[in-house]
Amino acid sequence: MALLLLLASTAIASEAQNIASFKASLAAPAQLDSLNSVSATVRISEKGDAAAIIAGESSPESISGFRIVVFMSNTQSARQDAITARENCLLLYPAERSYLIYENPYFKVTLGNCSSQEEAIILLNRVRSTFPKAFIMRENIPVAEFRKVEEAATDKQPAETETTTDSTPTL
């Protein structure tokens, strides 16, 4: 009896692992008793994969990602301190992109273009020895930044970017 159940469950499991059979089972009408008559339609739509987006085939302008904030301040010396922090990032982490950003009233320096939180946590652990107050921040990262990372990896050159996101002129 146990062998029969094992064989039946194996046959069902092997069929359920096939994506085509999974889609077919979703589209099939529900098996309900005669007292409960329900009509439903399931429509399946698939999005393209991340590689196609980054390749530019159907690219959005930005995707939700993570960066490591290594410096953030609004003191009188914040601008010079931010420049120093960014220079340290360029020297110590040349493979990672760094950004000097002014968002009124803060100067901040961020590091990396992480597409997942796990990737950001790994980078944060690397950075914490130099910047003990560093933290992870969710940001919308332009897809073009990911392309620049791929190009920089093939060119073996450190990446540099300076961004101002406020219309107020910096001092």
**Residue 13 confidence (pLDDT) above 90:** no
The answer on pLDDT for 23 being more than 70 is no
The whole-number average pLDDT for the span 136-152 is 80
Residue 87: pLDDT above 80? yes
Q: What is the pLDDT of residue 68?
A: 97
Average pLDDT of span 23-30: 61
The fraction of the chain above a pLDDT of 70, given in percent, is: 51
Pairing of strands 106-114, 160-164: unpaired
Average pLDDT for 106-119: 94
pLDDT, one tens digit per residue, over 32-50 is: 555 555 566 666 555 555 5
Give pLDDT, residue 117: 93
How far is 109 from 120, CA to CA, in rounded Å?
15
Domain at 62-164, CATH homologous superfamily: Sporulation related repeat (3.30.70.1070)
Domain boundaries, given as residue ranges, for the chain: 62-164
